[in-house]
């Protein structure tokens, strides 16, 4: 077989479509994972309940849309409500654990995730709900009618992450967050109210998870177990990207989502999920500090 034949055998159109798909899911994943990274980086808390915050955000979106009819109002309200909920959870369960073994925070947040997940099942029932897209335009991508909304998700996620980055870089409270991440004790000595910075960071992370829940809602049904898939992927992304590195987890999100999108050309989506597991294992074997961070000295 000549080079030309191999070249012709590659389904270019499918690959391009899957590239677009991969980038869209990658941006959603990046939005979830950056909240997780923020929380991990600043207080060494692996937030098992992050997927449930994502799920609750989507449900609050459903409720607001059915009452008010506005998608954008739903996005804002879900973000704010879940951010407040995150702050409350942090104050009641994580603050007492500060200074204890980081593993206890895994246990506490695992407990929170069980409670939230069953609460959603109790409140909203097992039937998946649907969020209506804010607009339903299509454009033609080869043989597909591709919805504009998907591209909008990617753009909005990028905008939220960008705003968050600017906030961390230039905002007063953003500087507080970075200072606390670098050295908790020194930040305290400089007069930064560290416990409240922790609460604030947790709230921001929770709000970002909720926003991605509302944005992603129209693509899949909203149900009580939707957080589980995402939390595992977000963990993988955070480890592959290098724990606590924001840029690393964004790059890893897109990288892994692209790989999964390409894999699902040939195998079922459930099996394509294994690709991300394999990436994780290889990362842990050959570069345990993360793929997308500079080599530590």
Partner 1 sequence: MSKRSATVYWTGFAIILALLIVAPLVLPEFWRRFVTEILIWGLLAMSSDILIGYTGMVSFGHSAFFGLGMYGAAAALLMVRPPNLWLAIVYGLIGSAAIGLFVAYFSTRLRDIYFAITTLIFSQIFYVIIFTWTEVTGGENGLSFRRPPLAIPGLFSAPFTAETLHWFVLAVVTASYLILRRITQSPFGMVLQSIRENEPRTRAIGYAVERYKIVAVMLSALFAGLAGVLYAVQNRFAAPDFVYFLVSGETVIFNVMGGIGTLVGPIVGAGFFLLLREAFSRFFTEYYLIPVGIIFIAMVIFMPQGLLGFMRRWLNR
List all residues 6 or more positions away from 205 whose beta carbon is below 8 Å from its beta carbon. 35, 36, 38, 39, 47, 50, 86
Is 286 near partner 1 (CB under 8 A)? no
List all residues 6 or more positions away from 207 whose beta carbon is below 8 Å from its beta carbon. 35, 79, 80, 82, 83, 86
# chain residues binding partner 1, by CB under 8 A: 38
Chain residues 253-272 in contact with partner 1, contact rule CB under 8 A: 268, 270-271
**Distance of alpha carbon 157 from the chain centroid:** 10
What phi, psi does 284 have (nearest 5°)?
A: -65, -30
From residue 7 to residue 46, the character string flagging contacts with partner 1 as x (rule: CB under 8 A) and all else as - is -------------------------------------x-x
Q: How far apart are CA 63 and CA 101, in angstroms?
A: 38
Q: Which of 89, 42, 31, 44 is nearest to 214 (CA)?
A: 31
Is 281 near partner 1 (CB under 8 A)? yes
- Binding region for partner 1 (CB under 8 A) out of 137-145, 180-188, 203-211, 284-292: 284-292
Which listed residue (11, 69, 102, 294) binds partner 1 by CB under 8 A? 102
- Binding region for partner 1 (CB under 8 A) out of 25-33, 78-86, 135-143, 232-240: 232-240
Chain residues 71-100 in contact with partner 1, contact rule CB under 8 A: 93, 96-97, 100
Which listed residue (1, 3, 9, 285) binds partner 1 by CB under 8 A? 285
Coil, strand or helix at 81: helix
Instruction: Output the 3-class SS for 226-258.
Output: HHHHHHHHHHHHHHHHCCCCHHHHHHHHHHHHH
Strands 138-141 and 144-147: antiparallel
Between 137 and 288, name the residue whose CB sits nearer to partner 1. 288
List all residues 6 or more positions away from 229 whose beta carbon is below 8 Å from its beta carbon. 51
Between 129 and 287, name the residue whose CB sits nearer to partner 1. 287
Is 277 near partner 1 (CB under 8 A)? yes
By CB under 8 A, name the binding residues for partner 1: 44, 46, 93, 96-97, 100, 102-104, 106-108, 110-112, 114-115, 117-119, 121-122, 232, 235-236, 239, 243, 268, 270-271, 273-274, 277, 280-281, 284-285, 288
């Amino acid at each position: 077989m000549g080079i030309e034949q191999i070249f012709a055998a590659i389904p270019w159109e499918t690959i391009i479509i899957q590239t677009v798909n991969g980038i869209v899911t990658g941006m959603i994943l990046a939005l979830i994972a950056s909240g997780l990274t923020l929380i991990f980086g600043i207080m060494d808390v692996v937030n098992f309940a992050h997927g449930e915050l994502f799920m609750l955000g989507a449900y609050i979106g459903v409720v607001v849309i059915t009452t008010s009819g506005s998608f954008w109002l739903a996005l804002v309200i879900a973000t704010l409500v879940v951010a407040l909920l995150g702050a409350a959870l942090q104050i009641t369960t994580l603050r007492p654990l500060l200074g204890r073994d980081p593993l206890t925070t895994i246990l506490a947040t695992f407990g929170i995730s069980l409670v939230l997940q069953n609460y959603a099942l109790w409140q909203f029932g097992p039937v998946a709900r649907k969020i209506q897209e804010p607009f339903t335009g299509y454009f033609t991508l080869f043989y597909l009618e591709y919805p504009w909304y998907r591209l909008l998700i990617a753009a909005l996620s990028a905008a939220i992450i960008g705003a968050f980055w600017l906030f961390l870089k230039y905002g007063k409270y953003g500087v507080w967050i970075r200072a606390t991440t670098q050295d908790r004790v020194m930040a305290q000595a400089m007069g930064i109210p560290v416990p409240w910075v922790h609460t604030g960071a947790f709230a921001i992370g929770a709000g970002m998870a909720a926003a991605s829940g509302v944005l992603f809602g129209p693509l899949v049904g909203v149900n009580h177990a939707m957080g589980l898939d995402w939390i595992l992927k977000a963990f993988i992304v955070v480890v592959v990207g290098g724990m606590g590195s924001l840029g690393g987890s964004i790059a890893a999100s897109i990288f892994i989502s692209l790989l999964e999108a390409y894999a699902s050309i040939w195998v079922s989506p459930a099996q394509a999920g294994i690709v991300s597991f394999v990436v994780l294992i290889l990362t842990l074997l050959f570069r345990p500090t993360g793929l997308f961070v500079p080599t530590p000295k």
